[in-house]
Amino acid sequence: MKKKRVLITGGSGFLGSHICERLLDEGNEVICVDNFFTGSKENILHLMDNPFFEIIRHDVTFPLYIEVDEIYNLACPASPIHYQFDPVQTTKTSVHGAINMLGLAKRIKAKIFQASTSEVYGDPEIHPQPESYWGNVNPIGIRSCYDEGKRCAETLFFDYNRQHNLRIKVGRIFNTYGPRMAMDDGRVVSNFVVQALRGEDITVYGKGDQTRSFCYVDDLVDGIIRLMEDTPDDFTGPMNLGNPDEFTILELAKTVLDLVNSKSKLVFRDLPSDDPMQRKPDISLAKKTTGWEPSIPLRDGLIKTVEYFDSYLKSQ
């Protein structure tokens, strides 16, 4: 295979670092672009000795001039704690960042992937969520900077495709977990695992009967790569990427407690504003188009995640 030069924005983040690693393993040259707001150099330290890997500290809200074959646009805080810290900047990252990366892709005629999100569906009235569903999103809530920013980014991607014949791939990513998650990002898996390992109370919002579908990171990366590499140029997506196995938050908490053998207690707090009650992807399109579906059960993935956080906490 011809070695490709691939740009990954948000490449030092949880998901971005795994994609960097996978593309390097496949023999490509990888350029990681990140401003390190939520990303971490620790996630990519093991890649730095690779002569085909390089890092550029850059904020995607400003233009970037570089020559590459493909672009993976993952730059944006993805957890409520981080994207609500500076909501205006979050919207700028999604919208201005998309404009700048699309402009770059147009100039150099590169294929470009957009990491969209299941949050474009909001608090869904259709279950599970197919790609044809337009969503039920609050445009003025505290999560809107992320939800609407990602929706606008999708709009820009499809307009560049229609207006400039740009080769785009849009993946709507559902809840993903695994090693290299930030332990302070407020996501439910990392919250529960870290609290259980520390023997702290497990914080459950609402009654814990809201559902999520958890996809292990290796499965998710495989789905993204297949969308980019195994679909024809005229296939744009959007394509749901996630695990269709659905669990309540309470089930997740009890599984983590069991795996850690923790004596932590469950503590219930008020449900945050606009927190969706259901989340489950319809992955029929992914199966039909690429043959992709997740293969790692939740319990197996959680074992690997617990091992990672246990090792990380001990090293600190």
The catalytic site residues sit at: 146
User: What is the three-state SS of 148-186?
Assistant: HHHHHHHHHHHHHHHHHCCCEEEEEECCEECCCCCCCCC
Nearby residues of 10 by Cβ (< 8 Å), 6 or more positions away: 16, 33, 34, 39, 73, 74, 75, 76, 115
- Take residue 141 and report the two structure tokens written for it: 């809530």
- Residue 59: left if φ>0, alpha if ψ -120 to 50, beta else—which one? beta
**Nearest partner of 157 among 240, 91, 101, 234, judged by Cα:** 101
Task: Give how far Cα 175 sits from Cα of 76, 118, 223, Å.
Answer: 15, 8, 14
User: How are beta strands 211-213 and 246-248 bridged, if at all?
Assistant: antiparallel
- Residue 259 burial class via C-beta count within 10 angstroms: exposed 0-12, middle 13-18, buried 19 and up: middle
Nearby residues of 306 by Cβ (< 8 Å), 6 or more positions away: 193, 197, 256, 259, 260
